[in-house]
Structures are given as structure tokens and as C-alpha cells.
């Protein structure tokens, strides 16, 4: 057992590495979140038959429920493992603070836009030839799938029923033209 412990990496060094990676992810997502207002400055009908809308916080909870549960688990599990691995608790606190910031960013209302060439969601721009509508659509959001990503590619869009109805009609028209 002592031989195994001597071959494992230093717990504090591993904690620092994990926290640094998480900090980059949180900063990256925050940058894209801020970028959405630059890419989508206006809401409503757009030139060339486009459409832009914004969700609210409750719609984002509905859209992000699985991610929120995952964040909760990611915040709790390190506490159970810190003592076993001799990881300094400071790094667990920093980890939880970063995840809490990320959790809050998931709940901030998002802007979406559909244009003839791209979908704008979560600060990202997606070409239509890389997306398809999921066969089964949830009731409270639109579910698109990223082609080639398999089960790791869902791209849910939030909003109220009126805006989602308008958006899905436009998306369906654009995707049918692509084929």
C-alpha cells in the first residue's frame, strides 16, 4: 500500500491543476455569455427572415436542469474525497466557489437567434449543416442535436411557448431547405 501511495501524484498539485482547468472553463463560458449581447443586439424579427429572442431565468432552469444537478454533485463529491486524499480543504472551497459562479451563469437569461445561415445560442454560432432537430421535442424547449456528437451533442434552446413556436417553424424551414 505504501508503494502505491508513493506513486500517486501530490494531492495539492492535482487540486491546483483541477482548479486551474475549472477556472479556465468558467472564464471561457463567462466570455461567451457576455458575447451573446454583441452577436444578438436586437430581439424580434431580423432582416432576411431571421428571428431573435431571449429566455428568462425559469426557462433556463428548465433548459439546464441536468447541468444544475451535475454541478451540485460536482460541488459535494470533493468534500467526501478531500480527507481520504489528503487534499487541502482550501482547494475544495475554491473549486466550489468556481462551480457556484458557473451555476449562476447557467441561470442567466440567454439570447438566441435564427438566421438563414446560422443559429446563435450560448454565445456560439452554429452552421445549419452541423445541426438537426431531435425527433422527440420536449415541451418547454427546442432540442437540436449537433451532428457527429452522438449523445453528447444536445443543444437545447429556451424561451416561452410563443417565441419557441415561431423559432421552430423557422428552424424547420431552414433545415428542410438544407436537405
Distance of CA 101 to the CA centre of its chain: 13
Average pLDDT over residues 113-138: 91
Read off the pLDDT of residues 7-46 as tens digits, 9 standing for 90 and up: 778 889 999 999 999 999 999 999 988 888 888 999 999 9
Q: What are the DSSP E strand ranges found in the chain?
A: 44-46, 50-54, 111-114, 118-121, 124-127, 131-133, 142-146, 154-157
Q: How many CA atoms, within 13 angstroms, populate the side-chain half-sphere of residue 38?
A: 8
- Which pTM was predicted? 0.80
Of 121, 105, 179, nearest to 153 by C-alpha is 121
Domain boundaries, the chain: 12-178
| 122, 36 contact by CB (below 8 A) | yes
pLDDT tens digits for range 41-85: 999 999 888 999 999 988 888 888 888 999 999 999 999 888 888
Cell triple for residue 21? 482547468
Q: Tens of pLDDT along 32-43?
A: 888 888 889 999
- Cell 426557462 appears where? 59
Amino acid at each position: 500500500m505504501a508503494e502505491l501511495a508513493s506513486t500517486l501524484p501530490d494531492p495539492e498539485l492535482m487540486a491546483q491543476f483541477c482548479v486551474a482547468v475549472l477556472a479556465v472553463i468558467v472564464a471561457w463560458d463567462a466570455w461567451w455569455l457576455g458575447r451573446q449581447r454583441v452577436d444578438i443586439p436586437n430581439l424580434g424579427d431580423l432582416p432576411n427572415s431571421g428571428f431573435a429572442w431571449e429566455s428568462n431565468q425559469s426557462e433556463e432552469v428548465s433548459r439546464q436542469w441536468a447541468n444544475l444537478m451535475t454541478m451540485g454533485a460536482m460541488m459535494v463529491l470533493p468534500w467526501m474525497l478531500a480527507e481520504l486524499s489528503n487534499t487541502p480543504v482550501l482547494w475544495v472551497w475554491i473549486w466550489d466557489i468556481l462551480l457556484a459562479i458557473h451555476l449562476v451563469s447557467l441561470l442567466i437569461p440567454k439570447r438566441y437567434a435564427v438566421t438563414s445561415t446560422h443559429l446563435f445560442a450560448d454565445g456560439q454560432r452554429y452552421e445549419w449543416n452541423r445541426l438537426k432537430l431531435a425527433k422527440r421535442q420536449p415541451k418547454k424547449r427546442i432540442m437540436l442535436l449537433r451532428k457527429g456528437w452522438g449523445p453528447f451533442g444536445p443543444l437545447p434552446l429556451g424561451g416561452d411557448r410563443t417565441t419557441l413556436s415561431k423559432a421552430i417553424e423557422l428552424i424547420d424551414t431552414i433545415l428542410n431547405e438544407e436537405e
